[in-house]
C-alpha cells in the first residue's frame, strides 16, 4: 500500500470527522490552531501522528492456537489486540522516540520492524495472539476463545514482559487504582529500566459516571500517555486522544490476513487510515490507562501530575502513595468483599 495514498486518505477522512475549530490532544501532544498555524497544518500534524501508530486487528489463517481449532481471533480477541497496541506504543516510544512519524519517502528504521515482529501471529513471537491466549489460560484460567477484559489483558502483557530478559522495558500493573512509588522503583532497579504503568479502573457501576469525563480527558495531556484500552460492552478499542467530548480510537474489529514476517513484508495493514470517534459518556466503566516513563525523572513528573489531577475533589481516577498499606485480617476481609462486588466482569 502506497504510504502517500494512505496519508491522503487519512487526511481526507479527518476533515469529515474533526471539529476543526476545537483543539485536540493525542498521547501527550496538543494540537491547536494559532496565529502561527492554520487548520490545514494542524490537521497534517495530527494525521501524521495518528497514522504512525501501530494498528493491531483481528487476523485470520494463522497457525491454530495450541491444540485448538482457532486460526482467527475474530469475535474474541479485540481486547488482546488493544493491549498489543498500547504495548507497541510504549515500545515505539522507547525504540523510535515519541516524535517519530512515518515519512512519505523514507524507509522504516530497523527498530520499527523489530517491534512489529514481537507481535507476529505465530507461537514463537512473545506478544502473538497465540502467546497471549495461552498465557491467559495458564495464569487466569481463561479458555482459548474467551473474551478478555482490560485488567486481565494488562496482567498478561506484564507477565510475559517481566519474564523476558531481552525486552528492554518493565510493566507495572496497579491492582487497586493505586501506584506505589517504592514498588515501581524496586521493579525498575537502580539503573532504571523504562516502565509501562498500566492502571485498570472502574469508573461507574451500571455505566460510565459522567463525573469522570473531564479528568479522564486530562490523562491524554500527560506527556507519558500511551492511551487507554476499553470501549463499549464486550467490544474493545484503543483510545489515543480526544476533542471536545469525543475520544479518538483505533478499532481492532477488522479481520485481516496474517502477514508472514520471515522475509521482507508489507506493513500497510499495521497502520490505520480511518480514525473513529466515540462519545466519552458512552464508554463502558471498565478500562485501563497506560503511561510510559522512559526515565526516573519522567516517572516523578507522572506522579506530580497525578497528584494535581486529584486535588480539590473526591472524584479521583487513581492515586499515588509511597508504600502499600499493611492490612489487618479484618481489613483484608472487608477488601475482599469489596473486590467481589467489583470483580472484572470486563466491559460487562
Q: Which residues are part of the catalytic machinery? A: 78, 251, 253
Tell me the pairing of strands 276-279 and 246-250.
antiparallel
Contact by Cβ (8 Å): 321, 185:
no
How far, in Å, CA of 289 to CA of 228, rounded? 4
C-alpha cell at 110: 530497523
Contact by Cβ (8 Å): 132, 160:
yes
Length of the chain: 348
The closest alpha carbon to 302, from 134, 169, 179, belongs to: 179
∠ Cα 342 252 271 (to 5°): 135
Exposed e or buried b per residue across 269-296, where buried means at least 16 C-beta atoms within 10 angstroms of its C-beta: bbbbbebbbbebeebbbbbbbbbbbbee
Amino acid at each position: 500500500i502506497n504510504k502517500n495514498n494512505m496519508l491522503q486518505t487519512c487526511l481526507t477522512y479527518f476533515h469529515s470527522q474533526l471539529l476543526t475549530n476545537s483543539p485536540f490532544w493525542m498521547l501527550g501532544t496538543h494540537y491547536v490552531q494559532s496565529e502561527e498555524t492554520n487548520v490545514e497544518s494542524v490537521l497534517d500534524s495530527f494525521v501524521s501522528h495518528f497514522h504512525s501508530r501501530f494498528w493491531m486487528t483481528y487476523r485470520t489463517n494463522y497457525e491454530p492456537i495450541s491444540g485448538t481449532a482457532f486460526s482467527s481471533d475474530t469475535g474474541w480477541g479485540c481486547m488482546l489486540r488493544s493491549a498489543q497496541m498500547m504495548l507497541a506504543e510504549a515500545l515505539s516510544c522507547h525504540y523510535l522516540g515519541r516524535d517519530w512519524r512515518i515519512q512519505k519517502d523514507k524507509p522504516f528504521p530497523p527498530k520499527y520492524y523489530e517491534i512489529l515482529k514481537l507481535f507476529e501471529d505465530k507461537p514463537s513471537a512473545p506478544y502473538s495472539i497465540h502467546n497471549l491466549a495461552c498465557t491467559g489460560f495458564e495464569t487466569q484460567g481463561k479458555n482459548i476463545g474467551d473474551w478478555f477484559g482490560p485488567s486481565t489483558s494488562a496482567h498478561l502483557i506484564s507477565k510475559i514482559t517481566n519474564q523476558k530478559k531481552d525486552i528492554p522495558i518493565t510493566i507495572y500493573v496497579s491492582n487497586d487504582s493505586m501506584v506505589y512509588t517504592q514498588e515501581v522503583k524496586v521493579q525498575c532497579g537502580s539503573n532504571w529500566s523504562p516502565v509501562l504503568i498500566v492502571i485498570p479502573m472502574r469508573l461507574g457501576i451500571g455505566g460510565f459516571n459522567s463525573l469522570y469525563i473531564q479528568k479522564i480527558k486530562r490523562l491524554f495531556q500527560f506527556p507519558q500517555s500511551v492511551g487507554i484500552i476499553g470501549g463499549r460492552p464486550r467490544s474493545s478499542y484503543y483510545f489515543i486522544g480526544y476533542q471536545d467530548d469525543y475520544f479518538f480510537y483505533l478499532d481492532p474489529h477488522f479481520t485481516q490476513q496474517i502477514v508472514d514476517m520471515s522475509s521482507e513484508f508489507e506493513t500497510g495493514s499495521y497502520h490505520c487510515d480511518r480514525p473513529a470517534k466515540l462519545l466519552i459518556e458512552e464508554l463502558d466503566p471498565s478500562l485501563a490507562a497506560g503511561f510510559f516513563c522512559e526515565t526516573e525523572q519522567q516517572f516523578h513528573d507522572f506522579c506530580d501530575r497525578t497528584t494535581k489531577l486529584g486535588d480539590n475533589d473526591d472524584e479521583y481516577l487513581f492515586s499515588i502513595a509511597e508504600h502499600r498499606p499493611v492490612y489487618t485480617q479484618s481489613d483484608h476481609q472487608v477488601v475482599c468483599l469489596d473486590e467481589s462486588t467489583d470483580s472484572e466482569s470486563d466491559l460487562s
